[in-house]
């Protein structure tokens, strides 16, 4: 487990749970979410560790449902995830050559996994 993920799990457990519930609901509805909507659910210093929170959520969802739930979190101006998403994916042992194709497939799989 990465250090940032350990910190997120220890210090931001409540925020992590709230963000996870929110993402699960949006995934079930087949919607992506901009980072600004995530920031609304994280208070204080947790905002500085949003990557750790999303990484911990993705670690859990990958183990539970074989998808990275954070795939649906996108940057407003680019309408795709930050580079941290791809770094996290590689850190979790996922391999891919084309970031865009990998991300699109992850989003599709997230929607399928959470709409059941």
Q: Where are the domains of the chain?
A: 3-114
Q: How far is CA 112 from CA 17, 27, 108, in A?
A: 21, 8, 6
Residue 89, CA distances (Å) to 30, 46, 102 in order:
21, 21, 10
| Tens of pLDDT, residues 23-75 | 999 999 999 999 989 988 877 655 567 888 899 899 999 999 999 999 999 99
Render pLDDT for 98-115 as a digit per residue (tens, 0 to 9). Answer: 999 999 999 999 999 999
Which pLDDT band holds residue 79 (cuts at 50, 70, 90)?
Answer: very high
Phi, psi at residue 49, to the nearest 5°? -120, 30
The residue ranking higher by pLDDT, 10 or 8, is: 10
Token pair listed for 63: 């183990």
């Amino acid at each position: 487990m990465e250090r940032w993920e350990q910190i997120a799990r220890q210090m931001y457990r409540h925020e992590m749970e709230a963000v996870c519930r929110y993402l699960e609901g949006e995934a079930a509805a087949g919607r992506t979410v901009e980072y600004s909507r995530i920031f609304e659910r994280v208070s204080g210093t947790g905002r500085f560790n949003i990557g750790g929170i999303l990484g911990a959520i993705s670690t859990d969802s990958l183990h539970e449902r074989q998808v990275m739930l954070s795939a649906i979190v996108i940057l407003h101006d680019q309408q795709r995830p930050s580079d941290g998403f791809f770094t996290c994916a590689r850190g979790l042992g996922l391999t891919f050559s084309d970031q865009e194709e990998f991300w699109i497939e992850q989003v599709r799989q997230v929607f399928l996994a959470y709409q059941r």
